Amino acid sequence: MEQKEYKEEGITWDTITYKDNKPILDLFLTKPIGILSLLDEQSAFPQATDRDFVDKLNSKFKTAPNFEVVRNHTPLFTIVHYAGKHSLAVLMEKMFAAGPHFVRCIKPNRSKQPDQLDSKLVMDQLRYNGLMETIRIRRDGFSWRPTFREFAERYNILLLKPDLPMDKSSCMSILNSTELSGWKCG
């Protein structure tokens, strides 16, 4: 969406590519057989176990391209995904509309001991959760897009001509009076 805005505003920049996560969203959110719907269904049965849930997922999604059955004595499954800028926002919007409650924790070490940080483990988790790619996309894009008025009001102390209106002309005046580089105005 932002890339479309940049183009409409005539801002010259390199297009950022990202993967479409609609198949992942569908895997989680489709009713009545999405992962979250199946979890709700399993939660209604007091005797249901993690194994029951994973077995049901394995039978429903074994042919899905983004689902991997994990053969293990503990109940596990894998979702092959990347959480990108737009797709992640859509996923979060849909998930919050459904009202789920969960927290994703980053484990500092495998031994669950305090004051011990396994940097490789933490980086692997950040990569797996898509955070590193999200940071790259935000860094390559324009992470802050204030309106002309917001920008001019915030930095008006740098205006060489204080009588300019709080619009694009004042923003350009502020930016041109600095030694900053790499900025775009649109």
* Lowest-pLDDT choice from 92-96, 114-118, 176-180: 92-96
**Residue intervals in the chain for CATH 1.20.58:** 2-140
pLDDT for the residue 88: 61
Instruction: Indicate the pLDDT class of residue 57, thresholds 50, 70 and 90.
Output: very high
* CA–CA gap between residue 128 and residue 122 (Å, rounded): 10
pLDDT digits (tens, 9 = 90+) for 106-164: 788 888 888 888 888 888 888 777 777 777 776 666 666 788 888 888 888 787 777 77
Per-residue pLDDT band at 82 (split at 50, 70, 90) = low
Q: What is the mean pLDDT of residues 61-86?
A: 81
pLDDT tens-digit map of 40-52:
888 888 888 889 9
CATH architecture, domain defined by 2-140: Up-down Bundle (1.20)
- The amino acid that residue 151 corresponds to is F
In this structure, are residues 167 and 152 in contact, taking their beta carbons and an 8 Å threshold? yes
Phi-psi region of 81 (alpha: psi -120 to 50; beta: other; left: phi over 0): beta
